[in-house]
Amino acid sequence: KDASDAFPDSIEVSLFHSEILTQMGDFSGALEHLKNSADRSKDCPLPYVNAARAFLSLGDLNSARFHLQKALQIDGRCSTAYLDLGQVEMKAGKVEKAMDLYREGAKCARYL
């Protein structure tokens, strides 16, 4: 929180803060930070990926899926979004779809 207060315009600090809030179980606080991050950095998929992780922790697969698809609209080579979307589909029981997403995520990761 101190870093967020000291660097209110830093997208990186906001993302780290939201990850900590998510790990602590403060999903509403994390989602608020992530919305602000997404509003400030329209070309960065990570606020959407992290929001999806918060929604996944809440068991909200539809919201998680929506946010990961938004991340992929921003950056179609975001391997993390593909891998996390694979987890969403696995939890939804869509094993083949999940495997395709895992493969795509692995393929994108090779180009980093």
Q: What is the pLDDT of residues 30-80, one digit of tens each?
A: 998 898 888 888 899 999 999 999 999 999 999 999 999 999 999 999 999
Q: Please tell me the distance from the alpha carbon of residue 65 to that of residue 54, in angstroms, as a whole number.
A: 11
pLDDT of residue 40: 85
Sign, Cα dihedral of 8, 11, 12, 14 = positive
pLDDT of residue 110: 74
pTM over 0.75: yes
Average pLDDT over residues 80-86: 97
Asked whether the beta carbons of 48 and 64 are under 8 A apart, the reply is no
- Best CA proximity match to 14, nearest among 47, 54, 42, 44: 47
